[in-house]
A and B are shown apart, each in its own frame.
Chain A
Amino acid sequence: MKLLLILPILIPLATAAVCLLFWRHRKVQRLLGTLGSAAHLAAALVLLWAVRQEGIFATQLGNWPAPFGITLVADLFSAIMTVLAALMGFAVGVYALGSIDSNRESFGYYSFFHFLLMGVSGVFLTGDLFNLYVWFEVMLMASFVLLALGGEKPQLEGAIKYVTLNLISSALFLTALGILYGMVGTLNMADLSRQMSNGMHPGVVSTLAMLFLVAFGIKSALFPLFSWLPASYHTPPVSVSAIFAGLLTKVGVYTLIRVFSLLFHQDVGYTHTLILVIAGLTMVTGVLGAMAQNEFRRILSFHIISQVGYMIMGLGLFTPLALAGSIFYIMHHIIVKTNLFLVSGVARRLQGSYQLDKLGGLSQSAPGLTIIFIISAFSLAGMPPLSGFWAKLILVKASLDITGYLIAATALAVGLLTLFSMAKIWAAAFWGVPPEEATPVGEAIRFQLTPSKKMALYLPMIMLGLLTVTIGLMSEPFFELATQAAEQLLNPAAYIRAVLEGIK
């Protein structure tokens, strides 16, 4: 049991460390990286299975009893997120074998990639707020390095914005932590939840809630705080930006959902209504920003923002169905968005650019890629019967149930606009004729696709595409899982009991 909780953190750490030992041997690093991410995925799946069978479980590191030591705890939501992180780690890790250039490989791409996965898994599994901060920093540090690795000018510029804003966000998070500790005297999340529900000054609670909202809002790219995301996500190579797009903002969303369901649920009328308003604005601004763009990855980056709005919308509505919708949406979104970034990378390989006006006719030259793109793009826009449709349906249903007509209308309109910009990519890059200078240029020629590289590029995309279709056609078990996870989130008693077992 204890091991199950630690393994998803330990495996990436071991992989990264061993990769560092083989600094000069790129082939060994490739092998280790792949094996490591496969093992990580296996460990995460076992964890999910165990949590599903036996309910929430927790372990105290170093055997220090609960509110004093560091707790690792996995409920269904944590376990689902861990599985998704590991899955993306595996998919992007395999894709990187065929896509990352040898320079970045020899400067430790695989190590930092696994450090990133370790940080992400740590965030999902920890039960201690300060420990969460530490995992955040582990994750951020790895992402800083990955973002700047290679040192191209746009990358460095993007990294400056990313680094500065994320440091400010961490600073706010730490401020909130300090005040919270001063008020309550504990940082164990279960203990916090227990102590905060029996009477704290509501003004102080609201202030803290807002500090957390801003800190995590920057990390998950909410409405007025998202400017770092579209300024940086399109700068690094695809095998970096795909994992960023899939995981990093969702880590912010995870912490928001965790904190606002476990700690700050006393004044739902204030905090969660505010979250709902922000969700609507995030959706709209993100999708409008995307419509103004003409570059494959910039469009996708803006769509991350708008999609984060949907996930937060479920939290804002705060009913069991809505939270289940959020969790379902996260599952669907991580898979689809990562896949779209991977597709953009292959399109760039084939035609040498991310600019839509320099792409064209991919449906003729790369039919396989086209099918994968259709599945992911139309799922993102919410076309039935793909996964995005069900995700949006649940959220809209949940908001109609509590007469949130405005937010439901917003969600539907944003879905339509998403379809518009997906159709724009479709029309410019996949239909039409290839522009004259579409022959692969520069980098694309240097890395001509050998069959084995092609396989490394296509296998993860096919895997994620199939998964999208599976979630779409057989959504019942996934929805079931999301519902159970949402129920656990809304009844923190079980979580508290699991962590503080045997402690009065």
Chain B
Amino acid sequence: MEVLAAIVVGGLFGAGIYLLLSRSPARLIIGLVLLSNAINLLIFVAAGLVRGKPPLIPTGALSAIETTADPLPQALILTAIVISFGVLAFALVLFSRTFKSTAATSLDEMKTTDT
């Protein structure tokens, strides 16, 4: 299971970085989306996958009896999802605004502020 997930993470990273390197703004945004999803999955996998054992303490016991899934990575991922959603929404609007106002079609045409 972990191996499969690791391959998926690697694939997502690769696809994300490939898209980031392209000249089209839409691809760049999709690349960022893939990258952030890849990382969310990575946090999930890196912390170890435990199947079918929710972190619940049975009635009467003081602590969990057997090893359970770690709930913290899921909390981290939730936070990361919320943040990346906000940031990417902003980036999307920024990109569309910019390409409307400069009438450019490719990132190569955005060189006026470079040095």
The main secondary structure of chain A at its interface with chain B is helix
In the complex, the answer to whether A178 meets B32 with C-beta atoms within 8 Å is no
In the complex, the answer to whether B43 meets A160 with C-beta atoms within 8 Å is no
Cβ distance A309 to chain B, nearest Cβ, rounded Å: 18
Residues on A with C-beta less than 8 A from B45 are: 182
In the complex, the answer to whether B79 meets A141 with C-beta atoms within 8 Å is no
In the complex, the answer to whether B102 meets A231 with C-beta atoms within 8 Å is no
In the complex, the answer to whether A137 meets B83 with C-beta atoms within 8 Å is yes
Complex Cα–Cα for A153 and B102 (A): 7
Complex Cα–Cα for A134 and B107 (A): 29
Cβ distance A460 to chain B, nearest Cβ, rounded Å: 27
Q: Any chain A CB within 8 A of the CB of B112?
A: yes
Residues on B with C-beta less than 8 A from A160 are: 94-95, 98, 107, 110
Residues on B with C-beta less than 8 A from A292 are: 115
The main secondary structure of chain B at its interface with chain A is helix
In the complex, the answer to whether B113 meets A177 with C-beta atoms within 8 Å is no
Cβ distance B11 to chain A, nearest Cβ, rounded Å: 15
In the complex, the answer to whether A141 meets B87 with C-beta atoms within 8 Å is yes
Residues on B with C-beta less than 8 A from A232 are: 113
Residue of B43, B90, B112, B113 near A174 (CB, 8 A) is: B43
Q: Any chain B CB within 8 A of the CB of A420?
A: no
Residues in B37-82 with C-beta less than 8 Å from chain A: 39, 42-43, 45-48, 72-73, 76, 79-80
Binary interface profile of B, 1-37, with partner A (CB < 8 Å = 1, else 0)? 0000000000000000000100000001000100110
Residues on A with C-beta less than 8 A from B35 are: 168, 171
Residue of B42, B86, B87, B102 near A178 (CB, 8 A) is: B42
Which A residue's beta carbon lies closest to that of B115? A230
Residue of B36, B43, B101, B107 near A156 (CB, 8 A) is: B101
Residue of A137, A144, A231 near B115 (CB, 8 A) is: A231
In the complex, the answer to whether B91 meets A153 with C-beta atoms within 8 Å is no
Q: How many residues of B contact A (CB 8 A)?
A: 35
Residues on A with C-beta less than 8 A from B36 are: 171
Q: Any chain B CB within 8 A of the CB of A401?
A: no
Residues on B with C-beta less than 8 A from A483 are: none
In the complex, the answer to whether B115 meets A293 with C-beta atoms within 8 Å is yes
Cβ distance B111 to chain A, nearest Cβ, rounded Å: 8
- B20, B86, B98 pick with most chain A CB within 10 angstroms: B98
Residue of A137, A178, A234, A302 near B43 (CB, 8 A) is: A178
Residues on A with C-beta less than 8 A from B42 are: 175, 178-179
Complex Cα–Cα for A465 and B19 (A): 47
Binary interface profile of A, 139-154, with partner B (CB < 8 Å = 1, else 0)? 0110011001001011
In the complex, the answer to whether A156 meets B39 with C-beta atoms within 8 Å is no
Complex Cα–Cα for A235 and B115 (A): 12
Residues in A148-206 with C-beta less than 8 Å from chain B: 148, 151, 153-154, 156-161, 163-164, 167-168, 170-171, 174-175, 177-179, 181-183
In the complex, the answer to whether A134 meets B83 with C-beta atoms within 8 Å is yes
Complex Cα–Cα for A140 and B86 (A): 11
Given known A151-B97, A164-B28, A164-B32, contact A157–B46 (CB-CB < 8 A): no
Complex Cα–Cα for A158 and B114 (A): 8
**Top 8 A-B pairs, shortest CB-CB distance:** A182-B46, A178-B43, A156-B98, A158-B113, A178-B46, A137-B83, A178-B42, A174-B39
Q: Show 24 residue pairs from A and B whose CB-CB distance is below 8 angstroms, ordered by the A residue.
A: A134-B79, A141-B90, A148-B97, A151-B97, A153-B102, A157-B110, A160-B94, A164-B28, A164-B32, A164-B91, A167-B87, A167-B88, A168-B20, A168-B32, A168-B35, A177-B76, A178-B46, A179-B42, A181-B72, A181-B73, A182-B45, A182-B47, A298-B115, A302-B115
